[in-house]
Structure 1
Amino acid sequence: MGPRTGLGRQILLAMLAISVTAGVLVFFGTYFLYSAILAIFPAPEASDSWLTATDLGILGLVILVTLPIAALVSLRLARRILEPLESLALSARRITAGDLSSRAFPGERALGETAALIDDFNTMAQRLQDMAADMALWNATIAHELRTPLTILKGRMQGMIDGVFEPDERSLQGLILQVDGLARLVEDLRTVTLADSGHLDLRIEPIRLAPEIRQMAELMAHDLRASGFRLELDLADLVVDVDPTRIRQALLALVTNARRYAVRGTITIHLAEGDGDILLGVADEGPGLSPEMATRVFDPFVRDDPVRSQELGGNGLGLSVVRAIVEAHGGRLRYRSAPQGGALFEMIFAKPKRSQAAHDA
């Protein structure tokens, strides 16, 4: 028979064996107990023994009556245990075979602990199914994102081989741009994957963020002015425990995101302290995000306008990379409307304990 019948047979036989053994032990235990009592306290001369044949017969009859009752109770209890366990075993085998949609059922009269076990198993199975679906979607999306630049590269190089395109400096520069886009996509994927798995390499140290940000601003100012933007800084002099390289990467991603999608105007980088946290944010002057988009903006490959995003050089991973970096630091990333009506993305980090201790002192 299959494992299910074997499981039921084992539990039923075990319960029956316990009932029979208990009855036999009660019978002989009572007999030997009476014998010990008679050895210590002999029976009166008027009677041959305290435990007569009639007594033994009555005791045996009681055991014969109670033994089937005990066996019936054991069988009913075994069925209450067996039904959810058999369902659990069957579902586990189906999941092992690849059917992640299989679920176990506790039955109508399952014991509390058994029902809790079934619920935990079903929760685990649901998470496995969600993870598999997310992985399939992730792989399909990655393949789609890689296909476009690879197709362009292959077409351009094949055209050069066939003599359709001249391998001049402009054409080669275009190929290099596509290669840069691929390299950026691969690096973004690597960052998000390492962060999600808890293996993102961080070299955290106490640094004064304001000088680091000013240095970055000087490097970005020229390109931003060429694109019609003005960079404004509002920085408090704060010491934060972070990986400076990763924070520069995240800050550059936020500024680049504003440069791509915001209207021409001012991009503001602010660093401040509030409610015991350190706030590092990038704000623009519009148009901001729709309510529906605001709830999904940090998910990988989510873009309001995929075609326009690709034309502007976006791969849909910028904000996911920022979220991954911030969460790897133990912080969080949030979106809210900026005072100027645009988008404000804030990286929120815990205030260093030494700063809190100095403040309390």
Structure 2
Amino acid sequence: MPRRLSSVRARTTLGATAVVAVALVAAGLAVVLLLRANLGGQADLEAEVAARDVASQLATGVPYRSLDLPDADDHPVQVVDERGRVRAAGEDLDAIGGTGSPDVRPDPSPPQGDDSDDDGDSDSDDDPGRGEVSDDGPRFSTGSATVDGRTADYRFAAVEATTPANETVTVYAGADLAAARDAVGTVTRAMLAGLPLLLAVVAGVTWLVTRRALRPVEGVRAELAEITAAGDLARRVPVPESRDEIAGLAATTNATLAALEDSVAKQRGFVADASHELRSPIASLRTQLEVAAAHPGLLDVDGLVEDVVRLQDLAADLLLLARIDAGDRPPERPVALGRLVRAELDRRAAGDRIPVQASIEADPRVMGVPGRLSRVIGNLLDNAERHADGAVRLSLREEAGTAVVRVADDGPGVPPADRERIFERFVRLDDARSRDEGGAGLGLAIARDLVTAHGGDLTVGEAPNGGALFEVRLPTV
């Protein structure tokens, strides 16, 4: 179960459900707040309309006892003068709170004479004029009222008015909040009830869609598992018809399998060729040693030494190729290529079958390993001397930030069809199959691998005077 919950499908489903849950909660909260504000504003408007209606009656001179008051159940009304005395109230109003006075019965005493003056002006500059209703916005408050024994919360609006007798009073009219609160509660409960169902739908749809989307991935995984178990690198994973990331993954996987198959095939071929090449000198050594053991006088020391040297060189070449394949890169440093080529020519001058005609026109500096660069030059010269009839030429120059080394011979050359094949390992062309003359077929392969490891390129073409022309290009520093 923990593994199942840690799957991509489970994490995607949980993540999508969590995001939708947060979005729904935020949206629901916004809706509830907007609904509450809207209903609250509607209650304020109803209370204000009721208060202004009563205030207008008072401003036109309607006596308190003759006021047409709204039903107290819908809009409880209380009229309070500047001294806090109740001048009028709804008939069914039993108690009230949050207004100008807690009393609900009108005060029978007449108003005091000092409530007005002879000039007809009210005592306060803020009070409305005689026979007028205040133009200022009403004051709002939240309170409660008991009507016919039922207590409820109300939103009260307070509007001032001045009677024709110059008495300023404040009219309090309320609007029931129960309907607004019931509406908000109903919407909230509906959202809370529908949220789990909606989240369940989202989770189920996400789970199904994710399973459908990841089905090709499961096919790739299963096929890779079978390929690993069977060891058959010729098989390929299925590529879905959709042009999406999963199709790209499957195509890349197949490309990787193809490269791996090719690499394994080359490795197996290399091992087989190496075994074959090692078998001959070892068999020759064994034969000579057995003959020497039986007939000491027939011991060919020079032949033994030659076979041992050949075996030693072959082992060294195989070891170098293994290091190159493993990505072994000794520390590089700037190398003066002209000086390195001269040193290699001087080292091998005494043993050359054909003297090398050198033309060193520059001394470019390249980044590399001196020993491995010398090995490249040596292998190319060995190959040229092995196939040359009478001339081997070497040139070094710098062209557009590139060091160019050319080694040419006047031998039979390399046919165009074989110009890439000769760089493969253990490849010897028909005119060079002699093990004594042709070697093991590793020299050119090692040279190209070393040049490639130095960021350069090694190609072969036709020399101007016939024969083969090998060209090495290395970036300069």
Which TM-score applies when normalising by structure 1? 0.76
Which structure 2 residues correspond to residues 158-197 of structure 1 after superposition, within 5 A? 158-163=290-295, 166-168=297-299, 171-197=300-326
Cα deviation for residue 259 of structure 1 reads: 2.0
2:416 partner letter = P
Cα deviation for residue 126 of structure 1 reads: 2.9
1:199 partner letter = D
Instruction: Provide the C-alpha distance between the structure 2 equivalents of 1:240 and 1:24, rounded to a whole number of angstroms.
Output: 64
- Per the alignment, residue 326 of structure 1 pairs with 451
Q: Which has the higher strand share?
A: 2
- Per the alignment, residue 91 of structure 1 pairs with 223
Aligned residues: 340
- Per the alignment, residue 391 of structure 2 pairs with 266
Secondary structure of the 1:175 match is: helix
Which structure 2 residues correspond to residues 153-302 of structure 1 after superposition, within 5 A? 153-163=285-295, 166-168=297-299, 171-201=300-330, 204-207=333-336, 209=338, 213-214=341-342, 216-217=344-345, 220-221=348-349, 223-224=351-352, 227=353, 229-241=354-366, 243-262=369-388, 264-302=389-427
Residues 80 and 282 of structure 1: is their aligned pair in 2 closer, same or farther, counting only changes over 3 Å?
A: same
Residues 125 and 306 of structure 1: is their aligned pair in 2 closer, same or farther, counting only changes over 3 Å?
A: farther
- Which stretch shows the higher mean deviation, 126-135 or 302-311? 302-311
2:36 partner letter = L
- Per the alignment, residue 277 of structure 2 pairs with 145
Unpaired runs of at least 5, structure 2: 44-174
Instruction: Provide the C-alpha distance between the structure 2 equivalents of 1:257 and 1:335, rounded to a whole number of angstroms.
Output: 12
Residues 71 and 195 of structure 1: is their aligned pair in 2 closer, same or farther, counting only changes over 3 Å?
A: closer
- Which stretch shows the higher mean deviation, 70-79 or 116-125? 70-79
Cα deviation for residue 37 of structure 1 reads: 4.2
Unpaired runs of at least 5, structure 1: 353-361
Instruction: Provide the C-alpha distance between the structure 2 equivalents of 1:14 and 1:280, rounded to a whole number of angstroms.
Output: 59
Which structure 2 residues correspond to residues 297-316 of structure 1 after superposition, within 5 A? 297-305=422-430, 308-316=433-441
Residues 245 and 270 of structure 1: is their aligned pair in 2 closer, same or farther, counting only changes over 3 Å?
A: same
- Per the alignment, residue 61 of structure 2 pairs with none
Summarize deviations over 1:10-64 as a string: whole Å, max 9, x none. Answer: 8379638955995798489738952784378536457724638986898799889
Contact 1:7 1:86 in 2 (8 A): no
1:194 partner letter = R
Instruction: Provide the C-alpha distance between the structure 2 equivalents of 1:154 and 1:191, rounded to a whole number of angstroms.
Output: 26
Instruction: Provide the C-alpha distance between the structure 2 equivalents of 1:270 and 1:23, rounded to a whole number of angstroms.
Output: 76
Instruction: Provide the C-alpha distance between the structure 2 equivalents of 1:25 and 1:240, rounded to a whole number of angstroms.
Output: 65
1:178 partner letter = D
Cα deviation for residue 254 of structure 1 reads: 1.5
1:282 partner letter = V
Instruction: Provide the C-alpha distance between the structure 2 equivalents of 1:349 and 1:137, rounded to a whole number of angstroms.
Output: 30
Instruction: Provide the C-alpha distance between the structure 1 equivalents of 2:192 and 2:343, rounded to a whole number of angstroms.
Output: 96
Cα deviation for residue 85 of structure 1 reads: 2.0
- Which stretch shows the higher mean deviation, 317-326 or 286-295? 317-326
- Per the alignment, residue 9 of structure 2 pairs with 11
Summarize deviations over 1:181-218 as a string: whole Å, max 9, x none. Answer: 111111112222323333243664443625x5455445
Q: Which has the higher helix share?
A: 1
- Which stretch shows the higher mean deviation, 18-27 or 139-148? 18-27
Q: Give the aligned CA root-mean-square deviation in angstroms.
A: 4.0
- Which stretch shows the higher mean deviation, 75-84 or 264-273? 75-84
1:261 partner letter = H
Cα deviation for residue 287 of structure 1 reads: 0.9
Contact 1:91 1:104 in 2 (8 A): yes
Partner of residue 120 from structure 1, selected from 243, 246, 252: 252
1:166 partner letter = G
Summarize deviations over 1:98-148 as a string: whole Å, max 9, x none. Answer: 4444543353447x2333333333333333332222222221121111111
- Which stretch shows the higher mean deviation, 47-56 or 116-125? 47-56
- Per the alignment, residue 356 of structure 1 pairs with none
Instruction: Provide the C-alpha distance between the structure 2 equivalents of 1:248 and 1:13, rounded to a whole number of angstroms.
Output: 58
Say whether residues 1:48 and 2:160 are aligned partners: no
Summarize deviations over 1:279-326 as a string: whole Å, max 9, x none. Answer: 122100121111121012222212213872413151111112222332
Residues 259 and 67 of structure 1: is their aligned pair in 2 closer, same or farther, counting only changes over 3 Å?
A: same
Secondary structure of the 2:365 match is: strand
2:301 partner letter = L
Cα deviation for residue 157 of structure 1 reads: 1.1
Residues 321 and 65 of structure 1: is their aligned pair in 2 closer, same or farther, counting only changes over 3 Å?
A: closer
2:413 partner letter = G
Contact 2:9 2:207 in 1 (8 A): no
Say whether residues 1:104 and 2:237 are aligned partners: yes
- Per the alignment, residue 355 of structure 1 pairs with none
Structure showing greater radius of gyration is 2
Contact 2:5 2:11 in 1 (8 A): no
Secondary structure of the 1:286 match is: coil
